[in-house]
Structure 1
Amino acid sequence: MPLSLKLPRRTLAAGAALLVAGAGAVSAAPATAAPPPSVPAASSTPHVSYVNLGDSYAAGWGADAPAASVNPDVGWGNCLVGGRPDEVTLLSELKNVSLAGDFACTGATVGTNTTGRPTIGEEIAAASAARKLTTTTNLVTVSAGGNDIDFGTIIGVCARGTLGDCQQAAAAALLKAQQIDVAGTVAAIHAAAKHAVVAWVGYPHLFAAMAVGSCLLRRRRSSTRAPTRSTPNSPALSGRRAAPRASGPSTST
């Protein structure tokens, strides 16, 4: 089922209007005696406790020069993370945002684990067991689904084959994508972190200019190469990504 967590612009506009109106009301009020000293007001910006889950794009693979290391937050063996900084570290560096846990792992899937790597459900369980994913968690980002549809193979077909080959591979991937249990995964996250906003983010546009339905791959008619950029679409879902991680040397996400 499509997920879209983008805040409506009119909601943002309404909030801004209220702030402006409030400021105007204060400035227009008649001068009065200064109130007695009081305890400084708390910051109006709430603290955000943030947890990251997902595959290689969530793990920063390809964000910088290859510098793979094992994710220290998870107990699986060859659970690689890539170079930094990426959108996860940049987000965690924002004021009032703290990265409580990063459980992303290269090769992670949403469905049954067939790669020797964890499923997103297992990442959720690990984060919950470590008390990183709790009722105090405000935000969870998830990048997943690419390995379930064999993302690496599709990239290879689109890079080396014809436009028709690319379209056929992408169309087959869309059928697989319908089986990805997005709703169940989000429900599992909310079972551990009931107050969290879940942002299921997308993948880069590796082939631009021609879409195949609503697929995550795009391809130029005249060239198989195009700059990587973010995409709002991933298989069977929609989300937003602050800054895409460039594709890494691995065909597994």
Structure 2
Amino acid sequence: MPRTTPPRILTLLGTALAALALAGAGMAPAQAAAPVAVDASLTPASGGRVHPTHRHTPDVQYVNLGDSFSAGFGSGTLRAGPIPGCLQGTGPSHVTRLASLPGVHLTVDASCAGATPEDITAIAGAVRTQLATADLVTLTLGGNDLDLAGLITACSTLGSDAACRQALAMARQTLPSITASARTTLRRIDASTSGRILVLGYPRLFSPQYGDNDFVTARHARQLNRIADGLNRAVRAATRRTHTRFVPVAGPFNRHGLGSPTSWIYFNTANPGDPFNMHPTTTGYLRGYYPAVLHRAGLHHRVR
């Protein structure tokens, strides 16, 4: 889950949105932020179509927040999102598929690759007008509080056993703080909307049952998957005592991680620095994330 560009996203938000404030559409501190002026060419992902619905089926106002797993990294190409300094993928994902359902209107996709829970809190303040009228909110959060890229590199064939042990120990120590930071963010979002808030989990990125591969040994892959499981437990714990609901997605990816002949995880072997690496492919979003969120959002009856 790479960051967009240094410096940190929160700094980018502070400077870019402060400039927008001069034009009447900016952002003060998160608790007093003005709504972001959203570029109509970027939202909704369904192309702005208004879907006809049965007169007895109310329309659904939809807001998407979160990090790169919400921003569709791994599908399509890169594009700038409506939040200054934030990047998203252009390809199909669970978000675009939800937004294409009859009567579902994506009012803003404010997801941001590299966003931490703290960053997402600030972004939620910037789109508070959209949140106030939202019927559905989806997001992923917490993964960027881990140095996931560093962890995976240390445990890959580019690293060493010693480096992997150290990185795994640091990740385990970080997990409790992820629960605390994610809960703070979820409570802020919870207070901003009466809509249904679905907090999506993360997949296991590896399929060690297929043995060693050129990038990672099966042993290290199992250790990395256990960190992913711990991350999901930390995020699930953050949803307690809120009106948010955790949606697991690990199951569908179990035989489709890196190393599987039918992997749903993007990895560009020619470019280890590709920002899409270690994210779901289009298939991963549509066959892993979308069915899970469709069911929990109560929108399956709109599928045609």
For normalisation by structure 1, the TM-score amounts to 0.61
Match of 2:195 in 1: 196
Match of 1:81 in 2: 88
Query: Are 1:174 and 2:172 counterparts?
Result: yes
Deviation of 1:187 (Å): 1.1
Structure 1 residue identity aligned to 2:187:
A
Cα distance change on mapping 1:241 and 1:101 into 2, 3 Å: farther
Q: Which runs of 5+ in 2 are unaligned?
A: 1-53, 219-224, 237-245, 254-263, 268-273, 280-304
Provide the C-alpha distance between the structure 2 equivalents of 1:198 and 1:63, rounded to a whole number of angstroms.
Answer: 24
Which of 127, 131, 134 is the matching residue for 1:133? 131
Provide the C-alpha distance between the structure 1 equivalents of 2:175 and 2:78, rounded to a whole number of angstroms.
Answer: 28
Deviation of 1:177 (Å): 2.3
Query: Are 1:60 and 2:60 counterparts?
Result: no
Structure of higher RCO (CA pairs closer than 8 Å, 6+ residues apart): 1
Deviation of 1:222 (Å): 2.8
Range moving further from structure 2, 50-59 or 168-177? 168-177
SS of the aligned residue for 1:237 comes to: helix
Match of 1:214 in 2: none
Match of 2:50 in 1: none
Provide the C-alpha distance between the structure 1 equivalents of 2:121 and 2:197, rounded to a whole number of angstroms.
Answer: 14
**Pairs aligned (count):** 185
Provide the C-alpha distance between the structure 2 equivalents of 1:51 and 1:188, rounded to a whole number of angstroms.
Answer: 15
Match of 1:152 in 2: 149
Match of 1:236 in 2: 234
Cα distance change on mapping 1:187 and 1:221 into 2, 3 Å: same
Task: State percent identity of aligned pairs.
Answer: 32
Structure 2 residue identity aligned to 1:186:
L
RMSD over aligned CA atoms reads: 3.3
Please say if residues 55 and 143 of structure 1, whose CA atoms lie closer than 8 Å, have aligned partners that are also in contact. yes
Deviation of 1:125 (Å): 0.7
Please say if residues 174 and 235 of structure 1, whose CA atoms lie closer than 8 Å, have aligned partners that are also in contact. no
SS of the aligned residue for 1:205 comes to: coil
SS of the aligned residue for 1:147 comes to: helix
Structure 1 residue identity aligned to 2:61:
S
Provide the C-alpha distance between the structure 2 equivalents of 1:182 and 1:46, rounded to a whole number of angstroms.
Answer: 31
Which of 51, 57, 62 is the matching residue for 2:63? 51
User: Which structure has greater helix proportion?
Assistant: 2
Question: Computing the radius of gyration over CA atoms, which structure comes out larger, 1 or 2?
Answer: 1
SS of the aligned residue for 2:70 comes to: coil
Deviation of 1:173 (Å): 1.4
Provide the C-alpha distance between the structure 2 equivalents of 1:123 and 1:246, rounded to a whole number of angstroms.
Answer: 27
Match of 1:143 in 2: 140
Match of 1:16 in 2: none
For normalisation by structure 2, the TM-score amounts to 0.52
SS of the aligned residue for 2:111 comes to: coil
Range moving further from structure 2, 80-89 or 231-240? 231-240
Query: Are 1:69 and 2:79 counterparts?
Result: yes
Q: Which runs of 5+ in 1 are unaligned?
A: 1-40, 112-118, 211-219
Provide the C-alpha distance between the structure 1 equivalents of 2:160 and 2:199, rounded to a whole number of angstroms.
Answer: 31
